[in-house]
Structure 1
Amino acid sequence: MRLKNYIILLACVLAVNTATAQETSKKTNRLTDSVTEVYNVLKVNKNIKQGLYQAVYQENIPVATGMYDNDKRVGTWRFFDPKGKLMETYDYSNGKLGFEAPETEVSNLRYFADIEIDSADVVNKPVKIGGRYFGYLPYVQLFKLPKDIWDIDRNKYIAQVELLISPLGRLAYYWVHITGYNYDRTIKMSLNLPNEDDKIFKPATKNGEPVACRIIIRARITEYGNLDFLAK
Structure 2
Amino acid sequence: MKYFFALLLCVTTLNLFAQVTQKRDEKLIQDVQERYSVLADSPSIRHGFYQAIYRKKTVIASGRYERGKRVGMWHYYSKTGQLLQNYDYDKHAIVYSSPVDTMRSVRYIIDDEIKPNDAIAPPIKPGSVYFGYMPYVKLIQMPAGLEEFDYTTLVATVELLVSPGGRLADFKIRITRPGGFININKVADMPLDAIEPEDKIFLPASKNGQNVGMTIIVTCRFDSRGRVLF
TM-score (norm 1): 0.87
User: Residue 103 of structure 1: CA displacement?
Assistant: 4.6
Identity %: 34
**Secondary structure, in 3 states, of the residue corresponding to 2:73?**
strand
The answer to whether residue 94 in structure 2 is matched with residue 94 in structure 1 is no
Superposed displacement of residue 142, structure 1: 0.4
Partners of 1:168 and 1:13 in 2: how far apart?
A: 46
1:197 aligned onto 2:198: yes
Tell me how far 1:105 sits from its aligned partner.
Answer: 7.2
d(CA) in 2 for partners of 1:26 and 1:152?
40
118-127 or 32-41: bigger deviation: 118-127
Task: Select 1:37's aligned residue among 17, 31, 34.
Answer: 34
Aligned residue identity for 2:65: Y
Q: CA deviation at 1:16?
A: 2.2
Instruction: For 1:105 and 1:201, locate their aligned partners in 2 and report how far apart those are by CA, in whole Å.
Output: 16
Structure 2: which amino acid aligns with 1:63? Answer: I
Q: What does 1:2-13 align with in structure 2 at a 5 Å threshold?
A: 4-13=1-10
- Partner SS, residue 112 of structure 2: coil
TM-score by length of 2: 0.88
Q: Which residue, out of 135, 139, 142, partners 1:142? A: 139
Tell me the distance in 1 between the aligned counterparts of 2:92 and 2:68: 16
- Measured in 1, the distance between the counterparts of 2:5 and 2:101 equals 61
CA contact (8 A) 1:161 1:175 kept: yes
Q: Provide the rounded CA distance (Å) in 2 between the counterparts of 1:224 and 1:5.
A: 67
Instruction: Give the whole-Å Cα distance in 2 for the aligned partners of 1:121 and 1:24.
Output: 51
1:169 Cα shift?
A: 2.1
> Structure 1 residues 105 and 197 mapped into 2: Cα distance closer, same or farther (>3 Å)?
closer
Q: Counterpart of 2:217 in 1: which secondary structure?
A: strand
CA distance in 1, matches of 2:227, 2:161: 21
- Displacement of 1:104 in angstroms is 6.7
Compare CA radii of gyration and give the structure with the larger one.
1
Structure 1 stretch 46-55 or stretch 116-125: which is displaced more? 116-125
